[in-house]
Each structure stands twice: as structure tokens, then as C-alpha cells.
Amino acid sequence: MIHAETDASLPLAVDGIDKRYRGGVHANRNITLSAQRGEMLGILGPNGAGKTTLVRQITTELLPTSGSIRVFGVDVAADPVSAKNLMGIVPQEAQLFEMLTVRETLRIFGKMRGLPSADARRRADELISDLRLNEHGDVTTVKLSGGLKRRVMVGIAAIARPGLVVLDEPTTGLDPQSRRDMWGLMREYKSRGATILMTTHYMEEAEALCDRVGIISEGRLLALDTVDNLKSSQGFDFKITYSANGDGASTRTMYGKDDRELVERARAEGIRQFSLTRTTLEDVYLALTDTDTPNT
């Protein structure tokens, strides 16, 4: 087994994590990965793939059955309080205190993270500006839209300027504009030096945001690399889509590294009408998780 680095400088080092629930459900199977400083690392997979279980072990909510997790060198199982203090966390499902204003919410969480009252007040004001919540600072959170509530959650995660921010499907349920706004916030925090670990089941989100992407299916980490390297490793730089029987009722796909060679191959097989495009992360994902996906 190849072990993840455990250097204390690494924001995150996951080494051989297994999680088996009572009843026999095997949610994570021997997952090893690490995150570098200033990196946005995406964990991609469908609902039920084991992404949230992995995150909940990283954030100390669940104990792994075996393996280890370190955050800046701190073992999350042995010292969960210290590890959690090094992270900012945006869970998939969380409730705000509905009768508190945005400003009050951020101040309270600042104090909970150990900031003196004056510092918590200043930090709350900074975050309201950073998160573009100026018009909503004195509005109770119950009156906020889903997208604005997610911004407040990001503010809570960022209140103590953590080196590692963990976001579990941060844009699920958001409308397209709110999702783009959230992307902007994540890019901004990354530009300031934060390491971001995010889970998502949106292929285009992972491709647009992440320096590297890990693909999880049925609890296993199938691949972890940059999107370009994932494509190259599968021979998936280009694809040709064509009708299998000429009537458009069913389509097939051919993949290849070189567009000209791929076109010549299609013509050699008698295919005359087709569409040639660059591949996406979704193509790689399907190739890794679906044995029926053609790759030649």
C-alpha cells in the first residue's frame, strides 16, 4: 500500500481509511490522499458514493474503522479538538439560528472560536464585506435565500482564518447564479492561501474549480489527479459521438488522444456523420465507473 505523506506541513493527509458501519455497510475502502497548501481538492462521485462519510471522518464527526487522518500533522482521532480548531467546515446540511441577524451570527461564532469581543466584531464586519452581504448584515437569517444562507455558512467556516476549509457539496440546491457566486467565494479564499477540500456530484463544478480531482465510487478512490492528467491517462483528449444505426435513436462514442487520428479511425469504420469535441471530466468518470462505456 502506498501511504500518504504525514508531514506536519500538509493541510490534510488521509492514509488507508476504511469505514464500515454496523450492519456491514462498507462506506469507505482503503482511501489514501493528501492535500497541498493552497490547493483546491475536489472529491467527485454520485450520491451514496462515500463522499460525506469521508468528510465526516476528516472533520472528526465519525471515527474511521481503520487508517489515519492528520490535519497539519494533528491526528483527528487522537486529538479531535485541536484538529477541528485547524479547520473551517461547511457541512452539507446545517441550520442557522433563524432569529439572529447575519452580523450577530458571525460575531457569536467568532467568540466561539476564541476571538475577543472586539476582534469578533471586526471580523464579522470584514466577512460581511468579503461575502457581499452588506445589504443583509442586519437581516435575520430566516429571511435569507438559500444562496445567501450558504454564504453565511462559508463566513462561519472562515471566521478564524483556518488553513483548511472543508465543504461538503456546498452548492447543492442552489440556483445557477447562487452557484456561480459560491464558486467566486471559493476561488477568492483559495487565492488568499487557504486549502479547500470540497465534495460535489457536479462534474462541471469539479472541472471548473479544482486543481486536482478524486473520483469515488462505491467507497473506493478510483483516481486522483488533475483533470488534464485524468483525461490523458484514459486516452480521452477527444471524442467522436455518432449514431449507431443512422437514425439518431441511439448514439455511441469513440475516444482518442489525437483528433486527426480519431477522425481517420471513424472514417475507416465507415462512420460518415459524427460530432468531434474535447472530452470532459464526465467522460473520464463514466469510463472509470461504467465497464460498458466504450473507450476505443
Residue range 195-205, pLDDT digits in tens? 999 999 888 99
55-60 long-range CB contacts below 8 Å, 24 or more apart? 55/166, 55/168, 55/197, 55/199, 57/17, 57/19, 57/28, 58/12, 58/14, 58/87, 58/166, 58/197, 59/84, 59/87, 59/89, 59/91, 59/166, 60/84
Residue 292 pLDDT class (50, 70, 90 cuts): very low
- How far is residue 106's CA from residue 159's CA, in Å, rounded to a whole number? 7
At 247, give phi and psi (nearest 5°).
Answer: -105, 5
CATH of the structural domain 12-86+162-228, one choice from 3.40.630.30, 3.40.50.720, 3.40.50.300, 2.30.30.40: 3.40.50.300
- Average pLDDT, integer, range 84-100: 90
pLDDT at residue 95 tops 90: no
Identify the helix (H) or strand (E) that includes residue 254.
Answer: strand 251-256
- pLDDT tens for each residue of 165-184: 999 998 888 888 888 888 98
pTM of the model: 0.84
- pLDDT in the model for residue 6: 47
- For the chain, how many residues are written? 296
pLDDT digits (tens, 9 = 90+) for 223-278: 999 998 998 887 778 888 888 766 556 788 888 888 899 999 989 988 888 899 98
The reported pLDDT for the residue numbered 99 is 94
Backbone angles phi, psi at 179, to 5 degrees: -65, -45
Contact call for residues 170 and 182 (beta carbons, < 8 A) = yes
